[in-house]
Chains A and B, each alone.
Chain A
């Protein structure tokens, strides 16, 4: 921990750019390669890098495991919420064209589609991010024990 100055400074410089790149991948998914899954993994990679360099104890202070668990479940809940919302607005389950109601569908169905895809991609991002961080914590937090 003491003599690895390059690693520590490098991590501090890189982390915000990794997070920003993850958001770019997320919101640029409509135009180029990318989407919620890849963005979630890259977002989690920033926290994994932090944990590798600064130790698990410091990483848990930045990103408590409970937050990761809540993210893992919350993303799926957000995905389902978008699906049910479009159902209650008059369409089928996950038919985002009806996300703004029947009148929104008659006005411009692609508007609802656009917002719906952003919503479910956000759900995928949150779930993948939470699950990846939780998996890393689960593996790294154990120490060896005889059966």
Chain B
């Protein structure tokens, strides 16, 4: 049974490669989004094998969960079909091969996985493991001590970055009031200040044709795209 971790590693890495190639090859974006979710889940499995349980937890919750849902929400807006590429993939393939080759070349001098003499274990890691009980208290999960107390500044910055991400997305996507002149469907419209985008669309909605790529969302416009996601 000594070979067991290696077998698990190989199986997971093969699954990862198959999923990655499938994401590249497939033209249906819905299937591609689902496959990226599977990719994240397999990565989470790999992190578990490498004993990074906290990272695996985050990868499974964010990568396979929330971001898949957000990507599906985006697909509901932009359609499920990827356009046929106009160019030959030779130059991108060349760039990818060269970059991948450099990365593989760089791994040649990386210290062995989990080695006791690795530089990462020589600096503060020993201090965290030996002294966190007396300094931070009885917290068996040292990751929590490090993230919460020793690197409190880091975690504060991460939290602020997440908040900034919300502000940025809301600035770009939220349905606030529009300016007085709005370009829509090939011509300029004059709208009253304070009119929301939805109200404007409702006024124009009569002459707007249903979108063939998305299907008719039905009378309930608010929940139309999300309900389609649940259908799969």
* Chain A residues at the B interface, C-beta cutoff of 8 Å: 1, 4, 7, 25, 29-35, 37-38, 41-42, 44-45, 48, 51-53, 55-58, 69, 72-73, 75-76, 79-80, 83, 94, 96, 109-111, 113-114, 116-117, 120-121, 123-124, 127-128, 130-132, 134-136, 138-147
Contacts and interface: CB of A to CB of B under 8 A. Distances in A.
A110 B135 contact: yes
A36 B145 CA distance: 13
B88 interface: no
B185 to A, nearest CB: 5
Interface stretch (B33-41, B91-99, B119-127, B157-165): B157-165
A130 B61 contact: no
A137 to B, nearest CB: 9
B8 interface: no
Contact of B162 (A30, A131, A138): A131
Given A45-B65, A140-B225, A94 B170 contact: no
A48 B66 contact: yes
A117 B227 contact: no
B61 A138 contact: no
Nearest to A60: B222
Of A69, A75, A110, A121, most buried by chain B (CB within 10 Å of CB) is A110
B61 A42 contact: yes
Contacts of A130: 166
B73 A136 contact: yes
Interface of B: 53-54, 56-58, 61-62, 65-66, 69-70, 73-74, 76-78, 134-141, 143-145, 147-149, 152-153, 155-156, 158-160, 162-163, 165-166, 169-170, 173-175, 183-186, 197-198, 201, 211, 214, 217, 220-227, 229-230
A94 B211 CA distance: 53
A interface majority secondary structure: helix
A142 B169 CA distance: 12
A72 to B, nearest CB: 5
Nearest to B208: A146
B148 A120 contact: yes
Contacts of B135: 109-110, 113
A28 B160 CA distance: 24
B232 to A, nearest CB: 11
Nearest to A118: B148
Which 8 A-B residue pairings sit nearest by Cβ, starting from the closest?
A: A55-B223, A110-B137, A139-B73, A33-B53, A117-B148, A94-B152, A131-B166, A41-B61
B175 A80 contact: no
B217 A138 contact: no
Given A80-B156, A83-B152, A110-B138, A142 B230 contact: no
Given A34-B57, A57-B222, A145-B201, A96 B169 contact: no
A72 B166 CA distance: 8
A78 B136 CA distance: 20
B147 A35 contact: yes
A19 to B, nearest CB: 14
